Amino acid sequence: MKGFALVLVVASSFVARAQGDFHQWVSAELSGDLVGKFNWSGELNARFNQYGMRSFFPQIGVDRKVTDWLKASVDYRMISERNDFGNYSVSNRINLNLTAKEELIDRLEGSVRLRYQYAFQNRFSENYDADFDQAIRLKTKLDYDIDNVPITPSAGIELFYNPIYGPKGPGFSKYRAEIGAEHEGLGDHSIGLKYIFDGKFENSDRPNRHILSFSYSYSF
């Protein structure tokens, strides 16, 4: 795991210097059984760029297995986001998710997540940001369970669709491609590390983002 982390750090630092902004994401999650087939989760996220903390948000959610391979969930986020003037504004967002997951071949698992996110804070279309405004998101991911190794490598890509009519919509606004690994050999605890390339489709002054993400989770 240390060797893999070193590779990710070196690679992301190199591409960040070459082009775009370098960001760091940190998250911690707790989850457990609620009642029946329902589960709950709570999460804290902090996202940083070269100017310090860009956004911070707590999140709570509930999910339920519909079938052995399909799960439905709803999340609520209260987002504190730094604007171009260095001030933080607060907005609220609901995520509605459907996640399908199935073993494709021996030890290789594929998943697809469809998300509709709705932001309560009104924004003008010229300031649209797919991270914080209305968006339809489709994420596909592959996980490989290595035999007798507690580390699971993964790779995925996510597309962001802006449903708002305006100068930049409707249409696909950006995408995220990721590669990483999760260490699950720690009992109820797990840690994850991944590199994310956040690219854009539409013409925008916003540079591409190179993101190094570290996550911790505890399930009980």
**Where in the sequence is the domain holding 12, given as residue range(s)?**
2-219
| Separation of alpha carbons 34 and 210, rounded Å | 36
d(CA 18, CA 4): 21
User: pLDDT tens digit string along 112-171?
Assistant: 999 999 988 655 445 567 787 889 999 999 999 999 899 999 999 999 999 988 777 789
Q: Is the pLDDT of residue 2 over 60?
A: no
CATH number at residue 183: 2.40.160.40
- Nearest Cα residue to 192 out of 154, 158, 141: 154
Helix (H) or strand (E) holding 113: strand 108-119
Q: Tokens 């968006």 identify what position? A: 135
Query: Cα–Cα distances in Å, from 69 out to 35, 72, 110, 160, 188?
Result: 20, 10, 11, 24, 22
Instruction: For residue range 4-52, list pLDDT tens digits in order.
Output: 444 444 444 444 444 679 999 999 999 999 998 899 999 999 999 988 9
- Tens of pLDDT, residues 58-75: 999 999 999 999 999 999
Q: What is d(CA 22, CA 11) in angstroms, rounded to the nearest whole number?
A: 11
Burial of 172-200, coded b for 16+ CB within 10 Å and e otherwise, reads bbbbbebebbbbeeeeeebebbbbbbbeb
Q: Which pTM does this prediction carry?
A: 0.85
**Residue 120 backbone zone (phi > 0: left; psi -120 to 50: alpha; other: beta):** alpha
CA distance 148 to 213: 25
Number of domains within the chain: 1
Share of the chain above pLDDT 90, in %: 65
